[in-house]
Each structure stands twice: as structure tokens, then as C-alpha cells.
Amino acid sequence: MIYLDANATEPLRPDARAAMLEAADLGGNPASVHAAGRAARRVLEDAREALGRRFGARPSDIVFTSGATEAACHAIATLGRNRRIIVGATEHDAVRAAAPGAAILPVDRAGRADLDALARLLVGPPALVCLMAANNETGVLHDIAAASLLCHENGALLFVDAAQAAGRIAIDFAESGAHAMALSSHKLGGPPGAGALLLASQCATVAPLIAGGGQERGRRGGTPALPAIAGFAAAAERPSPAARLAGWRDRAERQAVAAGAVVIGAEATRLPNTTCIALLGIPAEIQVIALDLAGIAVSAGAACSSGKVARSHVLDAMGLGPAADAAIRVSLPWNAQESDIAAFADAYGAMASRLRARRAA
Amino acid sequence: MHSLPNRPIYLDNQATTPCDPRVLAAMLPWFTEHFGNPHSAEHVMGRQAEDAVEAAREEVGALIGAESREIVFTSGATESNNIAIKGAARFARSAGTLSRRRVITIATEHKCALEAVRSLAEDGFEPVELPVSRSGLLDLDLIGAALREPTLLVSVMTGNNEIGVIQDIAAIATAARAAGALFHTDAAQAVGKIPIDVQALGVDLLSISGHKLYGPKGVGALYVRRRPRVRLTPLFSGGGQERGLRSGTLPAPLVIGFGVACRLAGAEMAGDAACIGGLRDLMLARLRAAIPDLVLNGDPDVRLAGNLNLTFPHVLAAELMAAVPDVCLSTGSACSSAEIEPSYVLRALGLTPAEAARTLRIGIGRFTSRADIEAAADAIAVAYASLAASRPIPARSAVGA
């Protein structure tokens, strides 16, 4: 099986595995004051500092969560209180569900947030803007710096879902000017079950979403998922494989285009590991099944809504019409091999000619 | 005196338990070679992870007599308690059925359950915290009286994390349901330690923690009864996983480890409890022989096998702990162990702040050996004697105050 579905989950990095095993050996609860507890506490705080260094956040303003969904919901529930909420049209379901009545910020055909529309939407009472750094289905990046500037000019808060971007492109939370940012461990090669909410110092004293024993400075109850958090930090410290992956992604894309594919979001700056390619007229589901049978794991969109293949709201928002039903996501993991690209290109080419021939017949 | 081993003796198994090596071994392949996202139904790696997650759901359900589809995976018991308590209240409010405004709990609940119940006052509910007796048990007449007001939810923990007492859940649940209220129990300390059957007990909602039963940290579950169906509003939404009750990618390796931990607990519970209970009795007998005025808090019989909560005469718990740095003990709940406030659980039993400050929790678990207990008991007794001898005489006259 050739795994090209990294945006669903990245394979675990060996450093993360080692850090987890080491932390699992400690056993203690990081809130306990005895020797085992203090050792666990040290691992927890080291992880917090490592993430702070890597992503430009103050360690004391990092709240560990169970993952990016919890972090996003927490940010929106607390920062969005008494504010209008503006949500990018292509945001992850976790963000859209957390702000059901939100104003929608449209995107252009390449999937980039329409900043003129943002400026117009920001006129009025104080707002919270939710914009992802990189899209999970297309890899398209928003211009967070420009959006942040607009937010600051208009007294708005900015929440950035960086689950897909962190570990793949440079992220500096402080420099971005965002007020909150969500990170996911398993999207950057750490284990699942951990995530983080980064907070700007003026927003750092948020009410908990999960109330409890006062952990995380009263901002998140529950015993921290220690081995997972140690693995998260270790994975985050690894350098990004971006340069290598971008070249291979481009090659895979060229070969798919030669086989008849259309690249979604090609005009935009994108994550180096992601391509979203459509074969017009062939349902995405059929393409994914064909590739699965050929031993290649890709997806037709987000992994969350298990089983049901719903039309992608991301591609709809980009105004792609029929292409929205015919696009698959190919996302290279950190440990992709050059041979994976050749295998993918062969399987894709064979699938495209077979399915198109059948359709023509 | 027994010499201490080269690593600390871990006697804080109510704070967290070490992950069983069999659990760790079962989890590891799911971190590495089988790392697929269990929600990626489109390819074989996702489906493998999904199948393993569903097998784990069966194991968790089987341990408490539940169907697998009644098990919702969460990040831990704190989250489970929050979903159960706030979710039941928010659903009632959204359904417009606010005729039942009362939410009843007890003074010795875990802090996260107390905070969740108290927070409901903002939403128009009436939180009620019932006192417990000196033994730590809830008087059933009190719950009966409290239920005369229309009540939405009763939340009473099964086993207490500080004093180990086990409430009469079957009787409390029966009373709650007879009054038309939902019944939730935080069973984080009890599941895997004592037999629990949600049908026999008649509970509607039950919280479980992975790391309290030798599973991994970062995973837990909420049992949500299906017949009659208990309706909850999720704490947060998103991708709609766990039938919409709990969004977010399931941490497949942690869930699978949790399932194995539940299977092991089911198979080994009786043996573990007998062994741990024997060690507990040995510890208590040794300490009592050295310290005759030692007081055991909480009912001596209706309690978790692995817990001792002891008030020492004369000597502060913090000093005693500092004097035995190679034994991991605690003064109470791990969450608040850095706090200087006396334990609200001990205060609820009627202990004075001075008595609470002289109280230690000893938590014995599956991996505690007889040698550990002997060495720790001797170390505590020696440290106690030395600290007590250095007390000025007037302090001794304050014993029992």
C-alpha cells in the first residue's frame, strides 16, 4: 500500500515514537507533586517550550488539547463571545460547526479568501475572523498576513486553524498577528490524541471548554495525554520535508494533467505536499476505489465524516461546478519515496484511460 | 528495614496508573505501521484502523455490560463528565423542557464534575450539592428528599478518588429514575476495579478513564444509554465523529490500547482486587503497629481495594512526604496537589483543616509488589517516628483536636 493521504493523518515520525516511549516509561500524572509526577511535569513543560520555540508562541500561552477540533471549538467558543463571527467559506467542518450562524467570507476560484470582501464584512461591531492557514482538501494557502492586518485595523480578533500548515510550511504565531491558532499532533507526524491552542497574551485567560481539575492554568481540565504530547513536540521539532515533497508533488501533478486531470487551486500558493486533481465526468468515489484496488491510498476529501461521501463544500465554494464531484486529494506524507510518485502516476494514468474509455463506450 | 529499590515506589494509583506493558505492546503497531485515520473509509489503511477501533468499542462496552454503540470515545473522564452533565442540561434547555431545573450531586465529587454542575446555574438550572456522612457515603434519605423537587439529572461518582468509598449506585440510580431524573456516574476510579453492569445498576450515563485502568492517557469513554435513549447536546462539534456527540479524529492507537486495558481488567479484576486488597491490609496493619493513633478515612468496608486515606497524629502530610522522597504518595487529588487549600473531600467528611493537613492518600495498584509495600510502610513509619519525636510537647496535646 502506497500511502498518499497524509492530510488525513501523517505517519508517525520515529523521533515522536521514541519520545512517546520514553514518556510512557515515566508513568506519573504531571499534576502530582512526587518524583514520578515531577518527572512527568518536566516532560509536559519541555514539550510546551519546544512547541513555543517552533511556532513562535509563549509557552505559558499554549493550552494542550485532545486535538485541533477541540482547540478550534475552544477558540471560537471563547474568543467569539459577544462578537460577530466571520468564517472562511472553505474552513474545516470543526470551524463551520462551531459557528453555525457565522457570516461566510467567500473565496476566489483558486480557493483564496477574498480580502476585499473581508474588508467589507469587517465594517460593523467587533468580529472574530476564522481563517485556515492551509486548506485540508486543496492545500491552498490564505494570505494570513494580509487578513491579520485587516483584522487589526478593524478591531477584530483572528483565529487561524493551522492544523494542515504546521510542520509543512513556516508558521510563526507571534508574527502572524493572530489571536489564537489551532495545531494538531497527528497532522505533523506526531501521534493522534494531542493538539494545542496557541493564544496571544491579551487573550490568554480563556474560560475552559472542558472544565476540570484546574490543569493548563484552568483553561483545560483533564489529565494531559502525556506520551502523546511528548510525541507531538518531538514531531514538531523535525525539519519540514517541503522542498523534496514539492518537487515530487509537481511531478505527480504534471503526469496527472498529461492523463487528462485538471488541478484545483493551481493558481494559488499551496502546501508543498498536496494536490487536488479532477477527472471531469468520473465521480471521485470511483477514482478513489480504483486507486485503492491498485494499492494507492488517497481520498475524495476530508476524512472526518466516515463512510458518507458528501459533496465537498470546499470545491463548491470555489465555484468549480461539475469538477467538484470529480476531484481527489493526493497528499504526500513526510516519508514519501520518489518511487511512490512513479507508482502513483502509473496507476493514475491507467485508471484515467480505463475509466474514460468505459465512459466513452 | 527493607532497602528501597532503585526507582521510586509508586503508591499513587488513584492519580494515574502505569500503562500495562501488554497495552503498550498492543498500541505500538497502530502508531507506526497501521497509522491510518479510522475515519478514512476510502482506503484499506483507514478501514483497518476503523475495524480495530470498533473492536475496542466492543471491549469497553463488554466491561460494563453495555452495547458497543452505547460507547462514545472521548479524551478522558473529565471530558466525559463535561459531555454528560452539560450535554444533558443543554439538550433539555434546547428541547424547551426546563420544568426540571434541579441538578443534584454530592460534595465529594471529582472537581470536574462539581465544576460542570455548578456551571449550570448560569443556564438557569439549580445545582444542589448533597453532604456525605463521616464515612463518605451518601445517606439515601437525603437523595430522596432532594428529588422531591423536579430534577433533571443526578450525578454521583461510583468510587471516590481521594477516600476510595463506593457509593450505593444501584439505590441512588433507582431513586433518581423513579423521580424521572437521568442518572450519571463518574466511574473513572471504579471501572476495571469492581464489577460494573450498567443494566443492573440502572445508570443512564457513565464516565470511564483510560489511564486509571492501566490504559493510556488521552482517552476515555462515556456510556450513553440507548433504551430508553438518553439525548445529549455535544460539547463541541466538527466532523461529526462518534455519532455527532464528539467530533475530532479518534486517536486510534489510544482507543485500541484502552480496549485492551478493558479486556485485561475484565479478565484480571477479581485476582487484582484480592491481591491489591491484601497489600492494602498489610500496609494498614504495618502502619497501625507503628502509629497506633492512625485514622482511616472513609468507610472501612465499602471501598476500592487500592485506596487508603490516612490521617496521621502530630505530623504534617507534606513533611512526611518530603521525608520519604522515594515513595510516591499524595495528599489528595492529583489535579489540585499543588494547592495549599485543605482537601474539600476531607472537609466534607468533617475533618478540620488541621486534620486534613495531616492526611495522606496511598494508592496501590496492579504493579505494586509485597516488597514495595513492606519497604514503603517501613520508610513511612521511620520517617514518622523521627518527625513526631522532633515535635514540641504542646503540639502533642493537640492530638484529636
User: What ipTM score was computed for the predicted complex, to two decimals?
Assistant: 0.89
Cell match 488513584: residue? B14
Return the residue in A33, A164, A298 with the most chain B beta carbons within 10 A, the one to mutate for interface testing: A33
Residue B399 has pLDDT above 60, yes or no: no
Provide the pLDDT confidence category of residue B337 given band limits of 50, 70 and 90: low
For the ranges A285-289, B126-130, B172-176, the lowest mean pLDDT is seen at A285-289
Determine how many CB atoms are found less than 10 A away from the CB of residue B180. 11
Who among A28, A211, A304 is closest to B119 (CB)?
A211
List, by residue number, the catalytic residues of B: 335
CB contact under 8 Å between B79 and A27, yes or no, is no
Closest CA to B275 of B366, B341, B348: B366
Between chain A and chain B, how many beta carbons pairs sit less than 8 Å apart? 278
**pLDDT at position B401 over 80:** no
Q: Specify the pLDDT at position B358.
A: 95
Q: Is residue A25 predicted with pLDDT exceeding 90?
A: no
Which residue in the set A9, A215, A307 is minimally distant from B249, CB to CB? A9
Task: Tell which B residues from 74 to 133 touch A, by Cβ distance under 8 Å.
Answer: 74-79, 81-82, 110-112, 115-116, 119
Q: Across A314-328, B237-251, B283-297, which has the greatest mean pLDDT? A: B283-297
Mean pLDDT of all residues belonging to chain B = 93
- Which chain A residues are within 8 Å of B15, Cβ to Cβ? 28-29, 31-32, 37
Instruction: Write down the pTM of the prediction.
Output: 0.93
Residue of B nearest to A30 (CA): B334
> In chain B, which residues have their Cβ closer than 8 Å to the Cβ of A227?
19, 216-218
- Is the pLDDT assigned to residue B191 strictly greater than 80? yes
Residues in chain B closer than 8 A to A299 (CB atoms): 40, 42-43
pLDDT value at B340 more than 70: no
Per-residue pLDDT, B338? 57
Judged by CB atoms closer than 8 Å, whether chains meet at A213 and B12 is answered as no
Cβ distance A66 to B251 less than 8 Å, yes or no, reads yes
Given a cut of 80, whether residue B336 has pLDDT beyond it is no
| Cβ atoms within 10 Å, residue B62 | 16
**pLDDT value of position B1:** 45
| Site from A13, A15, A32, A206 to mutate, B interface, most B CB atoms within 10 angstroms | A32
Q: What pLDDT does residue B7 have?
A: 76
Is A74 within 8 Å of B236 when comparing Cβ atoms? yes
Size of chain A in residues: 361
Residue-level pLDDT at B6? 60
Q: How far apart are CA B317 and CA A289, in angstroms?
A: 63
Segment A220-231 shows an average pLDDT of 95
**Interchain CB distance below 8 Å, A306 and B8:** no
- Residue B332 touches partner A, C-beta closer than 8 Å: no
pLDDT of B339: 59
The Cα-based distances of A346 to A210, A259, A291 in angstroms read 48, 10, 10
pLDDT above 60 for B87: yes
Q: For residue B185, give the 3-state DSSP assignment.
A: strand
List B207's β-bridge partners, or say none: B186, B222
Helix (H) or strand (E) holding B375: helix B370-389
Whether pLDDT at B344 is above 90: yes
Residues of A in contact with B46 (CB under 8 A): 5, 8, 297, 303
Residue B66 has pLDDT above 90, yes or no: yes
- The answer to whether B335 contacts A213, with C-beta atoms less than 8 Å apart, is yes
Among candidates B217, B235, B321 on the partner chain, residue whose Cβ is nearest the Cβ of A225 = B217
Q: Which of A29, A210, A303 faces B78 most closely, judged by CB atoms?
A: A210
A195-199 and A262-263 strand pairing = unpaired
From chain B, the residues in CB contact with A98 under 8 A are 236-238
Tell me the average pLDDT of chain A: 94
Q: Could A29 and B32 be called an inter-chain contact, meaning their C-beta atoms sit closer than 8 Å?
A: no
- Cβ pair A225, A205 in contact under 8 A: no
Lowest mean pLDDT among A48-52, A304-308, B212-216, B276-280: A304-308
d(CA A199, CA A94): 18
Maximum mean pLDDT: which of A355-359, B1-5, B110-114? B110-114
What is the model's pLDDT at position A358? 82
Nearest to A301 by CA among A322, A289, A315: A315
**pLDDT-wise least confident of A51-60, A116-125, B225-234, B333-342:** B333-342
Q: Mean pLDDT across the stretch B16-26? A: 96
Beta-bridge partner residues of B206: B185, B223
B238 touches chain A (CB under 8 A): yes
- With 0-12 / 13-18 / 19 or more C-beta atoms within 10 angstroms meaning exposed / middle / buried, residue B44 is middle
Residue A324: pLDDT above 90? no
- Segment B248-271 shows an average pLDDT of 97
Residue A302 backbone phi and psi in degrees, to 5: -70, 150
**Per-residue pLDDT for B400 more than 50?**
no
Evaluate if residue B210 carries a pLDDT over 50.
Answer: yes
Using the Cα atoms of residue B327, residue B329, residue B335 and residue B337 in order, give the sign of their dihedral: negative
Give the best residue of B9, B37, B255, B361 to mutate against chain A (max A CB count within 10 A).
B37
Residue B398, pLDDT score: 44
- Nearest Cβ partner of A98 from B12, B236, B253? B236
Strands A2-3 and A296-297: parallel
**Closest Cα to residue B203, out of B86, B88, B301?**
B88
Give the strand pairing for A2-3 and B327-328.
unpaired
Under the banding of pLDDT at 50, 70 and 90, the label for residue B341 is: confident
